[in-house]
Structure 1
Amino acid sequence: MASGKAPHCVLLVYLFLSFACQCFGIGVDADNSVLLVDASEASGRPIPDTLFGIFFEEINHAGAGGLWAELVSNRGFEAGGPNVPSNIDPWAIIGDESVLNVSTDRSSLFERNKIALRLDVLCDSKGPNACPAGGVGVYNPGYWGMNIEQGKTYKLVLYVRSLGSVDITVLLTDSNGQKLAAANIIASASEVSDWKKLEIPLEALGTSHNARLQLTTTRKGVIWFDQVSLMPLDTYKGHGFRKDIFQMLANLKPRFLRFPGGCFVEGDWLRNAFRWKDTVGPWEERPGHFGDVWLYWTDDALGYYEFLQLSEDLGALPVWVFNNGVSHHDEVVSSVVKPFVQEALDGIEFARGPPDSKWGSLRASMGHPEPFDLRYVAIGNEDCGKKNYRGNYLKFYAAIKRDYPDIKIISNCDGSNKPLDHPADLYDFHIYTTANDIFSKNHRFDNVPRKGPKAFVSEYAVNDKRDAGRGSFLAALAEAGFLIGLERNSDVVDMVSYAPLFVNENDQRWNPDAIVFNSSSLYGTPSYWVLRFFTESSAATLLKSVLQTNFSSSLVASAISWKNSENDKDYIRIKVVNYGSNTMNLKISVDGLENSIQASGSNKTVLISTNLLEENSFSEPDKVVPQQSPLENAAAKMDVVLPPHSLTSFDLLKGPSYIRITGADSFSRSSI
């Protein structure tokens, strides 16, 4: 049947091009290219509401020491494992063995977090065995230094127990020992004979981006500490998210948030996979786990609930990726995978169930009685080739569709090359490659079947070291060409997200990444800024466009119609990537308009660099960023110049509509 339709398609394209060229008097010569845009309402196609979103994986300390604003690393002393004695890193000792013994034991108040820190203080406040000036104890440097800012308040929470009375000094200091904030904990033996929770506000008197938390004493005795937390009070909406990092995400206007991985979901071994039930409830009671793929401990304070809350705060739909009984090295056979299936069903109930349901009531007790808007789940991550994946997948699929028929299910198997052999609403497509290859993939979805499951390009990036560096302009430019191709094929591509999203500069496990940060600063790589060109694409209208050029291997373009929510005005946005090394002359002709194009209010935005391998940095965060300027020659027909190696966006402001008055030969303007 496809062969019967092909001649009609060819004929329609021919007629469109012939009509456009006759109307506009346009031809293609060796030095010029032509972009024909049909802006008529009838030719437009709605772009999915969900086209562009973000993917969060706990990698590169993206959450622990990043988006999640907790300043204490290894706050529960669990990172060294459940056996004692254990490693308390990065906690360190103030004092030496002659005055202090530090160890861990299993005396914690919390059943799932049994490790506590024990301090045997051998010195005293006076006498021949007096403690050194400043006392003895422990300090925590956080994640490569705590960011403490003058005038801000930080909430310290800790649990303490002792065999006698205590006099503990709490200090925030800079790297030179200069005091930034202080408090004292004084309690009688009866007050701390059992575990006591303390909450102490600390107002910073100074600023340091490399601060630390100290707990010291000059009183002889035995003290235990557990679950020591330090959080800034000014997190986003009080939800625990670091404000500056959150804002970088919000500026992308993501329509979905895929979480929490990635390989983080699978684990190198199942015993270390992310399990949602261990990441909800009071933070003190979460056991945490060692992420054995990216090789660091997380206390899982940024857990399943927090990811759902983050999605809601961003105005994005959550896309939950859960383990399907498959890791990198071990798998559960399908005949006994039922407990994993039930865990997934329980997780959906936690997100969507009424507040009086078993798991919905836990969500409500955490402060969110209303259900979260969970509509998408992914069964595993990159597991398609695994022995038991298909059998496991079918069991998950059947159970979820039985109880939640509206939820869209994402398969790990690529359906772009051949039809899937199992039911799915979407299929995952991942691509990490060279710059030239990903640019050439802008046509990757041109010829995939238009029926069946849609593509979810949930991980893409240029990661070739020679091309990408730590986040180069070349990588971003090539990715822009790829994204334009996905936008043009948004009838078969429903969702797109870059990966990885974050990296703490002190722990780069993957390279490159979209957003780079440390304790106090951050910047977007050029790949981040490319995403900003697509923030208005979701839910916009894709306009039919044809690019006539002799440079098809280096030029790619798309056109959309969109409404600016900030000024309630309508625009046509034309995006063009010139991947070549020559300046290009482009004639743009927009046909089918019911409006005029207004030069005043129209803009041009360009991302460009003379050095293809240019990167942003903490010292030069804006070295490669988009530059916007008025588009003074904005019109339905205009000549534009595309610099070599550039991404250019033309935002054409639509003016008043033209409305024909019945019985008249002329048109009337309207401000509709």
Structure 2
Amino acid sequence: EINHAGAGGIWAELVSNRGFEAGGPHTPSNIEPWSIIGDDSSIFVGTDRTSCFRRNKVALRMEVLCDNCPAVGVGIYNPGFWGMNIEDGKTYNLVMHAKSPEMIEMTVSLTSSDGLRVLASAAIRVPGGSNWIKLDQKLVAQGTDRTSRLQITAKTKGVVWLDQVSLMPSDTYKGHGFRTELISMLLDLKPRFLRFPGGCFVEGSWLRNAFRWRDSIGPWEERPGHYGDVWNYWTDDGLGYYEFLQLSEDLGAAPVWVFNNGISHHDEVDTTAIAPFVKDILDSLEFARGSAESTWGSVRAAMGHPEPFPVKYVAIGNEDCGKENYRGNYLKFYNAIREAYPDIQMISNCDGSSGPLDHPADLYDFHVRYLLPDLFAFLVV
């Protein structure tokens, strides 16, 4: 995950901040890029912590105030990631969760960026009551617009809560959630391995914002998401550990699981306290490789993949060579993984080309950076 290559890129989710949980370095949550259709006299929008999802408590509360609402209704819209690419004739699957004390009728639609041109539209009804309900709606586009938006509007006075609003094209690759046209390009490359979920994305600028594989598995509505403080944007982690494993399988590429070794850009876990991190990674390997009857393998099986994924390569950290606790932490991970999974090849962050490493490693992955002229000079030497 970097430069929205995952969220907003290869991952086909069109809604940005689908759970209204997005945050930043100083804001715990916000609804950006959602915006209001209407004015202060016709609609009031806020958030509270009344969602039905245990790990995603923030929900959006939308109160329609007008007795004589505009013909197009009032509500909210989401432009996705720089506009939604909606294509003529394609079907888009909308899923959202809602509740309302009284029955309320709403319209969901795909429109041009200014809301004036409607590409697809459907009426939905939220029955009155105290329980959340899941709504599924297919939208078939009657036109193409590469900067579209999703609108949710109402024309009658009332209150409705919304959460976990997702819009996906129906033709994702093998139904696995990836954009078909981008997967086709990757298949043409015939990759031999897939290194995931990223580099600095794994570490975080601070450990509190590092990638957590446990938070990225299970039902997408329950994934809390996290703020990637290195690249400064929120990810809902719909593209999670399981999906990366599935992508490796779909590409016929060997999965290379890059995990956090207790080190971020600005803080580290002392080797004396690294044991919980080691246990966490052993659990991640059981999730990938364990039988469907094992504790974590059963979670994978419940997600739709009873057969294990062939994870045979792991990278212990990302670009952490030389950090104070790197060697000590590395050895803790190395020894534990070697004992539990002797066939797994472990990859060091350090440069093994200039001399022997001071720690055991099957492979090394040392990153260097050059400005373009220097790179060409380096390559011709």
Residue 268 of structure 2 is aligned with which of 327, 331, 337? 331
Q: Percent identity?
A: 68
Deviation at 1:82, TM superposition (A): 12
**Aligned counterparts of 1:376 and 1:306: Cα–Cα separation in 2:** 17
Residue 122 of structure 1 is aligned with which of 37, 55, 65? 65
**Aligned counterparts of 2:277 and 2:266: Cα–Cα separation in 1:** 17
Residue 281 of structure 1 is aligned with which of 218, 225, 249? 218
**Aligned counterparts of 2:212 and 2:113: Cα–Cα separation in 1:** 37
**Aligned counterparts of 2:245 and 2:319: Cα–Cα separation in 1:** 22
Question: Are 1:236 and 2:173 an aligned pair?
Answer: yes
The match for 1:180 is 119
Superposed CA deviations along residues 171-230 of structure 1, whole A, max 9, x for unmatched, are 11112421111111124314xx31000111111111110111100001211110000000
Question: Are 1:345 and 2:282 an aligned pair?
Answer: yes
Q: Secondary structure at the match of 2:365?
A: strand
Deviation at 1:407, TM superposition (A): 0.1
Q: Secondary structure at the match of 1:433?
A: coil
Q: Would the alpha carbon gap of residues 85 and 310 (structure 1) be closer, same or farther in structure 2, given more than 3 Å must change?
A: closer
Question: Are 1:257 and 2:194 an aligned pair?
Answer: yes
**Aligned counterparts of 1:161 and 1:188: Cα–Cα separation in 2:** 8
Q: Secondary structure at the match of 1:327?
A: coil
Question: Are 1:425 and 2:368 an aligned pair?
Answer: no
For residue 224 of structure 1, what is the amino acid of its counterpart?
W
For residue 414 of structure 1, what is the amino acid of its counterpart?
D
**Aligned counterparts of 1:370 and 1:255: Cα–Cα separation in 2:** 21
The answer to whether the 8 Å contact 1:100/1:136 transfers is yes
Residue 139 of structure 1 is aligned with which of 77, 95, 120? 77
The answer to whether the 8 Å contact 2:15/2:81 transfers is yes
**Aligned counterparts of 2:86 and 2:56: Cα–Cα separation in 1:** 28
Deviation beyond 4 Å, 4+ runs, structure 1: 81-86
For residue 75 of structure 2, what is the amino acid of its counterpart?
G
* TM-score (normalizing by structure 2): 0.97
Question: Are 1:151 and 2:89 an aligned pair?
Answer: yes
The match for 1:658 is none
1:478-627, aligned counterparts within 5 Å? none
For residue 375 of structure 2, what is the amino acid of its counterpart?
I
Residue 216 of structure 1 is aligned with which of 153, 156, 161? 153
Question: Are 1:361 and 2:298 an aligned pair?
Answer: yes
**Aligned counterparts of 1:80 and 1:326: Cα–Cα separation in 2:** 22
Question: Are 1:189 and 2:189 an aligned pair?
Answer: no
**Aligned counterparts of 1:265 and 1:175: Cα–Cα separation in 2:** 34
Question: Are 1:98 and 2:98 an aligned pair?
Answer: no
For residue 97 of structure 1, what is the amino acid of its counterpart?
D
For residue 125 of structure 2, what is the amino acid of its counterpart?
I
* TM-score (normalizing by structure 1): 0.55
Deviation at 1:83, TM superposition (A): 11
Deviation at 1:430, TM superposition (A): 1.4
For residue 103 of structure 2, what is the amino acid of its counterpart?
S
The answer to whether the 8 Å contact 2:79/2:113 transfers is no
**Aligned counterparts of 2:244 and 2:305: Cα–Cα separation in 1:** 13
**Aligned counterparts of 2:250 and 2:143: Cα–Cα separation in 1:** 31
**Aligned counterparts of 1:134 and 1:382: Cα–Cα separation in 2:** 53
The structure with more strand, counted as a fraction of residues:
1
Q: Would the alpha carbon gap of residues 123 and 435 (structure 1) be closer, same or farther in structure 2, given more than 3 Å must change?
A: closer
Deviation at 1:435, TM superposition (A): 3.6
Superposed CA deviations along residues 280-334 of structure 1, whole A, max 9, x for unmatched, are 0000000000000000000000000000000000000000000000000110000
**Aligned counterparts of 1:386 and 1:78: Cα–Cα separation in 2:** 33
The match for 2:182 is 245
Q: Would the alpha carbon gap of residues 435 and 95 (structure 1) be closer, same or farther in structure 2, given more than 3 Å must change?
A: closer
Deviation at 1:439, TM superposition (A): 3.5
Query: Is there any run of 5+ residues in structure 1 with no aligned partner, and where?
Result: 1-57, 125-129, 443-480, 482-552, 554-672
For residue 100 of structure 2, what is the amino acid of its counterpart?
S
Q: Secondary structure at the match of 1:151?
A: coil
For residue 299 of structure 1, what is the amino acid of its counterpart?
D
Q: Would the alpha carbon gap of residues 85 and 332 (structure 1) be closer, same or farther in structure 2, given more than 3 Å must change?
A: closer
Q: Secondary structure at the match of 1:101?
A: strand
Deviation at 1:133, TM superposition (A): 2.1
Q: Would the alpha carbon gap of residues 85 and 65 (structure 1) be closer, same or farther in structure 2, given more than 3 Å must change?
A: closer
**Aligned counterparts of 2:28 and 2:177: Cα–Cα separation in 1:** 32
Q: Would the alpha carbon gap of residues 86 and 99 (structure 1) be closer, same or farther in structure 2, given more than 3 Å must change?
A: farther
Superposed CA deviations along residues 107-163 of structure 1, whole A, max 9, x for unmatched, are 011111010000111113xxxxx1122111000001010011111100000001111
**Aligned counterparts of 2:127 and 2:3: Cα–Cα separation in 1:** 43
Q: Would the alpha carbon gap of residues 234 and 82 (structure 1) be closer, same or farther in structure 2, given more than 3 Å must change?
A: same
Residue 77 of structure 1 is aligned with which of 7, 11, 20? 20
**Aligned counterparts of 2:310 and 2:156: Cα–Cα separation in 1:** 53
The answer to whether the 8 Å contact 1:162/1:223 transfers is yes
For residue 184 of structure 1, what is the amino acid of its counterpart?
A
**Aligned counterparts of 1:240 and 1:428: Cα–Cα separation in 2:** 29
The match for 1:382 is 319
Deviation at 1:81, TM superposition (A): 6.7
Query: Is there any run of 5+ residues in structure 2 with no aligned partner, and where?
Result: none
Deviation at 1:87, TM superposition (A): 2.3
For residue 41 of structure 2, what is the amino acid of its counterpart?
S
Q: Secondary structure at the match of 1:268?
A: coil
Deviation at 1:85, TM superposition (A): 8.9
Q: Secondary structure at the match of 1:189?
A: coil
The match for 1:60 is 3
For residue 310 of structure 1, what is the amino acid of its counterpart?
L
Q: Secondary structure at the match of 2:189?
A: coil
Q: Would the alpha carbon gap of residues 380 and 282 (structure 1) be closer, same or farther in structure 2, given more than 3 Å must change?
A: same
The match for 1:293 is 230
**Aligned counterparts of 1:438 and 1:170: Cα–Cα separation in 2:** 51
For residue 324 of structure 1, what is the amino acid of its counterpart?
N
Q: Would the alpha carbon gap of residues 224 and 372 (structure 1) be closer, same or farther in structure 2, given more than 3 Å must change?
A: same
Deviation at 1:429, TM superposition (A): 2.1
The match for 1:310 is 247
**Aligned counterparts of 1:168 and 1:115: Cα–Cα separation in 2:** 21
**Aligned counterparts of 1:170 and 1:437: Cα–Cα separation in 2:** 53
Q: Secondary structure at the match of 2:368?
A: strand
The answer to whether the 8 Å contact 1:169/1:185 transfers is yes
Deviation at 1:436, TM superposition (A): 4.3
The answer to whether the 8 Å contact 1:79/1:87 transfers is yes
The answer to whether the 8 Å contact 1:84/1:104 transfers is no
Q: How many pairs were matched up?
A: 380
